Structure 1
């Protein structure tokens, strides 16, 4: 019989090769890389008994830190990829999704958790806060590509669907954190606002968000100067070392967390600030490419382990109520909230539908749940929470993975045809609402 270490090494090698090949092979197929690796994990842990049980409850601390690292790396990649300068009008789609759609999702899912799933207030709010953000990791297939290093490309900018989903995913992970902390506070102190509101609002909302934005901006400014404006001997852009993006990620995140700010917000703001320091330098692509490859490898590991946990019984307690709530959230609540948030905005009807629908749930949700369970007191509902969030993430991977390529490819073709008809010049076609 083969021993577990040799099996793991062989499987890791195959997984790395697959991670390199699958994105290109599946570009036009109703199948995504996350779907493949989730299924691979389920098969591997079903038919290879020697593999250890990847129970997220048993390995809570490992799960927390593994998903945490994957998310912050993804946030750096998302920020570096955005070509559009930050502004009220330029990012209006983002502000609408953050200020309207996400709160609607949190309120609706909290009510569903209370009324249909029978969860306590703290547990229902935790589920809602964990599932409300669009995932920056698994949403990569509907996000912008690599950063532009040509002035004309930068001026044309990203199409609104990919920009909206990328910028939303970059910020809403951090902005959902106050609600996670609120769920933790309720689990420890009870539902009475008098017990937690002042401390929660002052610390978890005002201070942590403010420090995340401020320290992320300061780190981005300092690193931008080091990358692009320092003297030749220390200017990092001249060395084309992509791993400095990882250093920037950990630096911004670590310092912000030390000062009790939201590191997720700091990492994304840092990346956007670095991108703004010099918009046409090829070093952005070098850093983004390195981050993207590392993110893909970590995503493979997490999805295989999630598939293994499902195979070993993670969803054993799931019933029809949980399935119906999961479907309602993915097919009704999030699309409707996104449509309401984008109403009267600058998006066209097809863009609005696509942004509202492709609110992919994933690694960030797993991190929030693991983190909250380590800090709060959710009692015997921990297994139920893992089962439900695992179900929603798995359903999102399948649902959105099967529809991403066909829908986005069709929208791209429609956009190109409309732009060509409007300008008569395909090479200079603007990004128009569809």
Structure 2
């Protein structure tokens, strides 16, 4: 990609970051829809052929999506008010909706998409599993319309609690499933490179499912705890950044924790989210959490706008060239059938322990937004193994993201407002 185009995309991203949030605040059309459309128009302009192709520019695509996701995960972790502590088992009950979505809805979605990819699209088992693993996780980047708005700060710590079950469930699910989908991405890579499951199944469970998750969580929790202690309670003025209100701690924390987790062979996505949650748990009512979140949110907006503009440009420069009618059916099935049914089943299991209304249950099941995380997983797998159907996978994934952006972008705001009115009437 040429330097001139990079300047153009960065400039447009910054300008739109200033204008769009307010301009679209009362519209049913979301910013991602506008940005993809603007990018598509830019892609039609008579520039030199700069080859904006995720297949040929795998490293750039992977690292841009990677940075966008970890910034979003930091923001999600800082935004959640509901506590979660490894040392307080009772706190886990408040996350029961999240656990059901992660342990039931996500595996069902992966299996459903993989089965459709194999049966409808005729993909090889490894490619079908990769498609399922990449598309199943909900996205922390593009789901801002249905997520919690930010951390609540108050002197009374007992008052800090999310009352909106829909926003909490979708936010916490997006924060955790980007890391928990990684074992299935690795399973697809191993299936493509290491032969039958019998040859690597035990290693996959022991290392990719258990050990790498544990490493990521431990590094995240310890890193967040240490940084929180230093920032809030250090006697040295130079280290007590919370008292100075220096927001760059959040950026430094996410990069350091992510890098350490990756060096240690753990899942960096989980480490960043765990670090953010642990940092948030310290001095919960301190306004510094809001300061950090605001900075991360602005950086996330810029990166997201850039990714969406580039996605739009790629759409009109061949990204959908390998899309087939079976691929269209799989993408539509995920958005309208697989995720809603998987989410509904997950929320019906054990629903008496944390009852929610039918409208809220359907909202959680339906609003599983697909986005930048899927781009990262597919680009990462491309760098690890050879998948002959790679271009078809990219086209199908891009189509699914566009459908998700359109459908969820149009209906998210009206549906969330409707739920707020229902809760207000019930109160």
- Give the TM-score, by structure 1 length: 0.92
2:93 match: secondary structure: coil
Matched, 1:146 2:150: yes
Task: Identify the residue that residue 316 of structure 2 maps to in structure 1.
Answer: 311
CA RMSD in angstroms, aligned pairs only: 1.5
Tell me the distance in 2 between the aligned counterparts of 1:260 and 1:8. Answer: 32
Task: Identify the residue that residue 111 of structure 1 maps to in structure 2.
Answer: 115
Task: Identify the residue that residue 355 of structure 1 maps to in structure 2.
Answer: 364
Q: CA deviation at 1:236?
A: 1.0
Matched, 1:137 2:145: no
Q: CA deviation at 1:51?
A: 6.2
Matched, 1:216 2:255: no
- Say if 1:53 and 1:308, in contact at 8 Å, map to a contact too: no
Q: CA deviation at 1:361?
A: 0.2
Tell me the distance in 1 between the aligned counterparts of 2:8 and 2:62. Answer: 26
- Say if 1:70 and 1:295, in contact at 8 Å, map to a contact too: yes
Task: Identify the residue that residue 397 of structure 1 maps to in structure 2.
Answer: 405
Q: CA deviation at 1:395?
A: 1.0
- Superposition pairs of residues 173-252 of structure 1, within 5 angstroms: 173-190=178-195, 192-233=196-237, 234-252=239-257
Query: Quick one: which of 416, 428, 433 aligns to 2:424?
Result: 416
Distance 1:10 1:324, change over 3 A: closer
2:92 match: secondary structure: coil
Task: Identify the residue that residue 265 of structure 1 maps to in structure 2.
Answer: 270
Query: Quick one: which of 30, 42, 53 aligns to 1:32?
Result: 30
Tell me the distance in 2 between the aligned counterparts of 1:219 and 1:89. Answer: 25
Task: Identify the residue that residue 97 of structure 2 maps to in structure 1.
Answer: 93
Q: CA deviation at 1:28?
A: 2.7
Deviations along 1:292-342, one digit per CA (max 9) or x if unpaired, are 100110111111111111100111122221111111110011011101101
- Give the TM-score, by structure 2 length: 0.94
Judge which range, 280-289 or 147-156, deviates more. Answer: 147-156
- Say if 1:80 and 1:274, in contact at 8 Å, map to a contact too: yes
Structure 2 residue runs of 5 or longer lacking an equivalent are 85-90
1:18 match: secondary structure: helix
Tell me the distance in 2 between the aligned counterparts of 1:10 and 1:255. Answer: 34
Task: Identify the residue that residue 302 of structure 1 maps to in structure 2.
Answer: 307
- Superposition pairs of residues 326-341 of structure 1, within 5 angstroms: 326-341=331-346
Deviations along 1:28-76, one digit per CA (max 9) or x if unpaired, are 3121111111111100011232362310011100111110010000000
Tell me the distance in 2 between the aligned counterparts of 1:298 and 1:156. Answer: 29
- Say if 1:144 and 1:158, in contact at 8 Å, map to a contact too: no
- Say if 1:27 and 1:405, in contact at 8 Å, map to a contact too: no
- Say if 2:9 and 2:310, in contact at 8 Å, map to a contact too: no
- Say if 2:142 and 2:371, in contact at 8 Å, map to a contact too: yes
1:29 match: secondary structure: coil
Query: Quick one: which of 325, 331, 335 aligns to 2:330?
Result: 325
Tell me the distance in 1 between the aligned counterparts of 2:26 and 2:345. Answer: 30
Tell me the distance in 2 between the aligned counterparts of 1:375 and 1:271. Answer: 29
- Say if 1:82 and 1:163, in contact at 8 Å, map to a contact too: yes
Tell me the distance in 1 between the aligned counterparts of 2:145 and 2:93. Answer: 25
Matched, 1:163 2:168: yes
Tell me the distance in 1 between the aligned counterparts of 2:236 and 2:360. Answer: 44
Deviant stretches of 4+, over 6 Å = none
2:94 match: secondary structure: coil
Q: CA deviation at 1:394?
A: 1.1
Task: Identify the residue that residue 124 of structure 1 maps to in structure 2.
Answer: 128
Task: Identify the residue that residue 428 of structure 1 maps to in structure 2.
Answer: none
- Say if 1:174 and 1:264, in contact at 8 Å, map to a contact too: yes
Structure 1 residue runs of 5 or longer lacking an equivalent are 420-434
Tell me the distance in 2 between the aligned counterparts of 1:146 and 1:328. Answer: 32
Q: CA deviation at 1:11?
A: 5.3
